[in-house]
């Protein structure tokens, strides 16, 4: 059995009809589930790279520009997606472009010292919340919420202590979740 990259292998079996990139953008729901894989969400526009997932739309996020108009979505969910793209700078700019002012982007990614960051060989980037505030990130968004997913021992600690421990000693936090708001 041949191995395939993560972003190409995990899909949800669904009978939901496919839509074409050429279909009218007016019919899109205001919520985008980017890289949906197995997590198909009713009421969302579900996008993945593989047809086998049967998403609403098949899109390769490494091809720019993405097929949506500016300010198309009010909410974007990119759970364990951004660490897999080849060009992070381009991806962050595209996320900013497709979300309307006042809209939100929810992202989740492995902590750099977390076990899951190093298990998956298709991770292209190591991220921290500060990545989204770096000078190369788009202006016009702010982090409005941060959550961390801790391993067993870490669950006993407040988030702030767990982040310090993970940054200095590692393997305490598995995943970081952020909510960004477009403020332009």
Domains and CATH numbers, the chain: 6-150+176-182 (3.40.50.150)
Q: How deeply is 111 buried, as exposed, middle or buried, from its count of CB atoms within 10 A (0-12, 13-18, 19+)?
A: buried
Q: Which residue has the higher pLDDT, 133 or 58?
A: 58
Mean per-residue pLDDT over the chain, rounded:
79
Alpha helix stretches (DSSP H) within the chain: 6-9, 88-98, 115-119, 159-168
Q: Which residues of 35-45 are buried (b: 16+ CB within 10 A; e: fewer)?
A: bbbebbeeebb
CA distance 95 to 73: 10
CA distance 27 to 165: 46
* pLDDT tens digit sequence for 38-85: 899 999 999 999 999 999 999 999 999 999 999 999 999 999 999 999
pTM for the model: 0.74
- Mean of pLDDT values over 27-45: 88
Q: Are 76 and 95 in contact (CB under 8 A)?
A: yes
Q: Are 73 and 103 in contact (CB under 8 A)?
A: yes
Best mean pLDDT range from 10-14, 96-100, 130-134: 96-100
CA distance 107 to 49: 18
């Amino acid at each position: 059995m041949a191995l395939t990259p993560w972003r190409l292998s995990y899909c949800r079996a669904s009978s939901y009809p496919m839509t074409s990139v050429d279909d009218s953008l007016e019919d899109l729901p205001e919520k985008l589930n980017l890289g949906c894989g197995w997590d198909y969400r009713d009421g969302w526009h579900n996008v993945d790279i593989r047809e086998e997932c049967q998403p609403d739309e098949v899109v390769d996020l490494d091809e720019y520009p993405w097929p949506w108009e500016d300010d198309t979505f009010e909410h974007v969910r990119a759970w364990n997606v951004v660490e897999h793209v080849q060009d992070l700078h381009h991806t962050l700019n595209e996320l900013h472009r497709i979300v309307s002012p006042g809209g939100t982007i929810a992202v989740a990614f492995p902590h750099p010292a977390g076990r899951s960051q190093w298990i998956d060989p298709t991770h292209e980037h190591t991220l921290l919340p500060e990545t989204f505030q770096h000078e190369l990130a788009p202006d016009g968004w702010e982090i409005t919420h941060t959550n961390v997913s801790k391993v067993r021992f870490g669950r006993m600690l407040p988030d702030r202590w767990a982040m310090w421990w993970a940054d200095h000693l590692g393997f305490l936090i598995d995943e970081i979740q952020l909510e960004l708001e477009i403020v332009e």
